[in-house]
Amino acid sequence: MPTRDEILGAAQRQLNAQPTASMADLAAAAGIGRATLHRHFATREDLLHELGTRSIDRWRDSLDGADVAGVAASGDPVRIRTCLDDLLSRYLADSDDFGFALTDFSLTAAPDLVARSERLVAREVAFYAAAQAAGVLRADLPPRWLAHAVYGLLVAARDALAVGDVARRDLDTLVLSTFLTGAQQP
């Protein structure tokens, strides 16, 4: 019998492949019956909420792991640039695991998940503002816009991987270069 964590992992993988998967689809992906899945999660919304919580936990862990607050406080452009590379790489790894969560409406409807997301956005935006102050990122853009741009690139990366337009090994470089220099001719 799979553990709760294994069931969530299987559901997550299935939702990445088929975002509209039913509870029957999710149970089959986990190798269990619907009744067993419903013993763990009464509804699809409960399961999605748990996956949303895990996704937000990973977002928090990415910010903490890259030490965005400490690096931002340093004001050191080299450390900030290195941290930016690290953070985007972490985000891309998370989008591999939680790709469906980037655009699943149900995750933006849960007040507790929205409140946690807003706190994490504030931390991320503070880091981008520090990167602007250090000359690493353009200072003429609102820092919140930079957060939206990163989010958009993560969605684009998820979609490009899903249809085979890019190889995973190239994704970190593609996303970072697109974020830093756009599509301009070098």
pLDDT digits (tens, 9 = 90+) for 90-113: 999 988 788 888 888 877 889 999
| Ordered domains of the chain (ranges, CATH) | 1-42 (1.10.10), 51-181 (1.10.357)
Q: Report DSSP letters for 35-68, one per residue.
A: HHHHHH-SSHHHHHHHHHHHHHHHHHHHHHHHTH
Q: Check pLDDT > 90 for residue 175.
A: yes
State mean pLDDT over 26-48.
95
